[in-house]
Amino acid sequence: MKEIEQTLNFIVEIEKLKDVRRKTKPVGLERFENSAEHSWHVCLAALVLKDFANEAIDIDRVIKMLLIHDLGEIDAGDTIIYASESAELKAEEEAGLERILNMLPEGKTQEYLQLWREFEEGSSADAKYAKSIDRIPPILHNLHGGGHSWRKHSIPEEKILALNSRIELGSESVWRVIKAKLHDAFRNGILR
């Protein structure tokens, strides 16, 4: 019974992810997305795009990584990716993740923390694919929302292309399509 109680407490705690506001608005909405919505969206994107991965992947592991990867934002908050990849922020996210995962019954913390670290490192086929897919929803939000987040934060075309080119590490074919959409949007003045 203690393990069930611990797990239920964890489930209540992760509800807080629904209150972490991200920097993009879902397509067709005026409000900003929350991190829980992002987790759901990116997991479904990973599932439906899995056949385009560069390498063989274990989609169950990928989905676990994507469900876990933003839990640390409950404590650390969300920052725009174009400015957020600092060692300090990663340490804050990891500390938050550890705090949350330590609510689980013994033995689960390390399993999930290892998946998070693998995702952050991005060297396995599963992690490369997961990190690639993680970039897609924010791009689509901006492409279908007039570049709202890019313009608000003054993100230049070069930086958008450079940071998002990591999609190619997980799926060259998806990156080709996304890159073409980005170039079209830039030509049509999305950043103006």
* pLDDT digits 0-9 by tens, 12-29: 999 999 999 999 999 999
Residue 167 in domain: yes
CATH number reported for the structural domain that contains residue 110 in this entry: 1.10.3210.10
Residue 141 in domain: yes
Is 33:141 a contact under the CB 8 Å cutoff?
yes
Q: Rounded to two decimals, what is the model's pTM?
A: 0.93
Note the pLDDT of residue 84: 61
Nearest 5°: the CA angle 181, 182, 183 is 95
Ranges of residues in the chain with a pLDDT under 70 are: 83-85
Note the pLDDT of residue 147: 95
Residue 121 in domain: yes
Residue 174 in domain: yes
Residue 192 in domain: no
Q: Into how many domains does the chain fold?
A: 1
Residue 24 in domain: yes
Whole domain around residue 121: which residue ranges?
A: 2-187
Note the pLDDT of residue 85: 64
